[in-house]
Amino acid sequence: MQSELLSALAGTLLWFKCENLQKAGAFKSRGAVNAVFSLSHEEAARGVATHSSGNHGAALARAAQLRDIPAYIVVPENARAVKKAAIRQYGGEVIECAATLESREARLAEIVASTGARFVPPYDDDAIIAGQGTAALEMLEQVGDLECLVVPVGGGGLLAGSVIACADSGVEVFGAEPEMADDAYRSLQTGRRVTSHTPNTIADGLLTTLGERNFEIVRDRVAGILLVSEREIVDAMALLWTRLKLVVEPSAAVTLAAILRNPDVFRGKPTGAILTGGNVDVTDLPFRTAEPAR
């Protein structure tokens, strides 16, 4: 999709890849489907498992449902009800645990041990990376003269898949990341993967830390990691809602925020942005709100 006004604001033609309209509301369906359908019949029969408080859990549950196999999704007990409902809607089994990484990993290990299910990680996995890369591949087919591509970076599944997809295209791939969750930026700057940080951003899909294989794939191939502030994320999200008329989540809006913050990088270069997802709780939106009308 395009918007004349957003292109004018950016000083270049912008193209938006609408993964908010993807099944399960996010690009995560791409990697999940690829991972599930890459399993042998024997592996698949025992099901798949993961831990997730976000879009990966619902996407994996849906992919498993498509193959008619079980999905066990470990979810922190403080996750939103809407997230658990999405997993169950796709036939996934929600397994609650305490809201710590240790608890999530321990509970997942128990599930895998007792069921024989295959652990499908959210980003640090070849099948996931390959699946996520198909969004960029499609953009290359759909937009002939693309010069730049901007994708959000959290764990780095989409970014790694995108740089591989664009390797022979001449398209420069940028990661966009919140200042308040800047581990990928710092990892690339220092050349050493940051493994411990305490992110705090409205872009709740980008709280994860850049994965090991993701770091290795992107470190020499990405054109840069562009940081954006929380205010810039919300402003970009408002522009996408009011100009494209699309419901996108904050993690998706970091792309437009990064483009608008760096006009000199993108001016005159046809640029794609992957709008990664549209799963939001409409009763809890970040726009400054007046009281309800009624």
The single residue listed with the structure tokens 């976000």 is: 54
Shortest Cβ 293–a second copy spacing (Å):
6
Nearer to a second copy, 199 or 224 (CB): 199
294 binds a second copy (CB under 8 A): yes
Q: Which of residues 74-133 bind a second copy (CB under 8 A)?
A: 89
Q: What are the C-alpha distances in Å from 32 to residues 45, 157, 202?
A: 16, 11, 24
Give the whole-angstrom CA distance, residue 129 versus residue 127: 6
Residue found under tokens 């993108």: 266
Write down the least CB distance from residue 20 to a second copy, Å: 5
CA angle 61, 65, 71 (to 5 degrees): 45
Which of 138, 221, 246, 261 touches a second copy by CB under 8 A?
246
**42: its two tokens:** 């024997």
Residues sharing a CB contact under 8 Å with residue 52, sequence separation 6 or more, in sequence order: 58, 60, 73, 74, 75, 122
At its nearest, how many Å lie between a second copy and the CB of residue 115? 28
- What are 275's strand-pairing partners? 18
Interaction residues for a second copy, span 6-35 (CB under 8 A): 20-21, 25
Q: Least Å distance between CB 76 and a second copy?
A: 18
Give contact residues for a second copy (rule: CB under 8 A): 1, 5, 20-21, 25, 89, 202, 230, 238, 241-242, 245-248, 278-280, 282-290, 292-294
